[in-house]
Copies of this chain bind each other. A is one copy, B any other.
């Protein structure tokens, strides 16, 4: 499959419409069967593939940034009798293991973004389920805070993946059934192993939906509910959105450059270097000035570009096992922007930018690559950008300078941003996760905010893995990368997924840890993907043949 582009905008959507109606927006799913990523399958019955979800992700972003006035988003279907049939099964049947995993990861991130919008932007999502709502369709509804189901005797919610396809619901369905909706486990067991699902009052009594409404009252009830949810929001009624203008991205061989981000690939070694440049302008003089900058406001621009770079590496560069994280610029500029972001947290736009940066950093946390932060003279690992060091699996820092390089020695500067702006999926900051075993080291750091840590101080404070002198640095880094590249990519992915999330678990970590891992397993053996497996045979009229052994 050729490189997948995650950039889109509403004028190019083929599967979704945003119908704004004052405080309420309707996000209408109306999938074009011929609009999938591949011509191998048709997206019937509002089933989806990655192309559909790329638009959904874009719509969720734009509603936050471009529509501050929208306080409630109603997800509904543009088709009769079907809300959404879930992920397209023919697509899954033909997809490689890697594509399935990437597809599930991205769709999971989108559903978490819906929950994040509800919680942190107070743009509250609800679902108006008018028609059958199966598998990924129900998982989409589960990501919203309120599910309405029409009581027309045929509209159902269901998770038929296990009985029908021999796999698990892939976008958090099991986890949200047990942990968000707190469905009793025996009922969850019945529901998740019953192909036809549940409808009407029983679906409500079993906590699978929040209300059921007769057809005669449907439109009115949906509108009333949306307005009631909108009334709970604190979004500014008179806010003016900013436009998420098209990203500048230039490709040249193995180098891809955005305005502030650059990725360079060394194919011989399967290594990428991702460089983020600090701001070239001072922080805006006022909140109004930041609004005027819009998508050019440095923290927002960096968030968008870094996200695009990470998604590109993850989806289109599977053979790249190691990503070196670098920065380039002035620490003070980064810290000034951080201070500006923090001071303006009452402003809706600055709040959005902060949560967007949070989500982009979380994408790194669940990206199956080894990240090594490389901290050298000329870098600006301060505040928000220092978060890249703490998101990395390891960090190498140069002591002093290199011969012939007259820049100052590298420094790491912890900022306020590192102490609460960007929690990980586990609910802790990266520094909290890092210092679970040494809480006193964390307290110590907190007292040294905005202090420059040179390599030896950073190593002593536990901020980097290794500080090395010039004459060792390059060799050691090269050896580290080579060793990593020689190890099993599968084992490394599993190892990183286990080591990155110490401490508490949340619905989110459970989705990416427990659920994803089980799904990855189930996606492998013949019961799912063999010639007689359920995914392969779906739609052929032939029943799958399962090996019987339980493992």
Contact = CB atoms under 8 A, between A and B. Distances in A.
A104 to B, nearest CB: 11
B436 A182 contact: yes
B395 A186 contact: yes
A484 B195 CA distance: 12
Contacts of A98: 549-551
A310 to B, nearest CB: 13
A487 B207 CA distance: 25
A471 interface: no
Nearest to A544: B488
A136 to B, nearest CB: 15
A401 interface: no
A146 interface: no
A549 B319 CA distance: 4
Contact of A521 (B162, B168, B393, B490): B490
B502 A521 contact: no
A368 interface: yes
A465 interface: yes
Contact of A178 (B166, B192, B207, B499): B499
A457 interface: no
Interface in A172-208: 174-175, 177-179, 181-190, 192-193, 207
A515 interface: yes
Interface stretch (A114-122, A245-253, A522-530): A522-530
Contact of A437 (B182, B483, B521): B182
Nearest to A489: B550
A363 interface: no
Interface string A505-520: 1000010011101111
Given A184-B438, A524-B525, 20 more contacts: A97-B525, A98-B549, A163-B487, A166-B490, A166-B491, A168-B494, A168-B498, A183-B437, A185-B500, A186-B393, A186-B434, A189-B393, A189-B495, A193-B492, A320-B550, A368-B550, A489-B548, A489-B550, A491-B522, A494-B521
Q: Which 3 A-B pairs have the closest CB atoms?
A: A182-B437, A166-B488, A517-B517
19 contacts: A102-B551, A162-B491, A163-B483, A179-B503, A183-B437, A184-B435, A184-B462, A185-B393, A185-B433, A186-B394, A189-B394, A193-B492, A207-B437, A318-B548, A487-B546, A489-B551, A510-B513, A513-B514, A518-B520
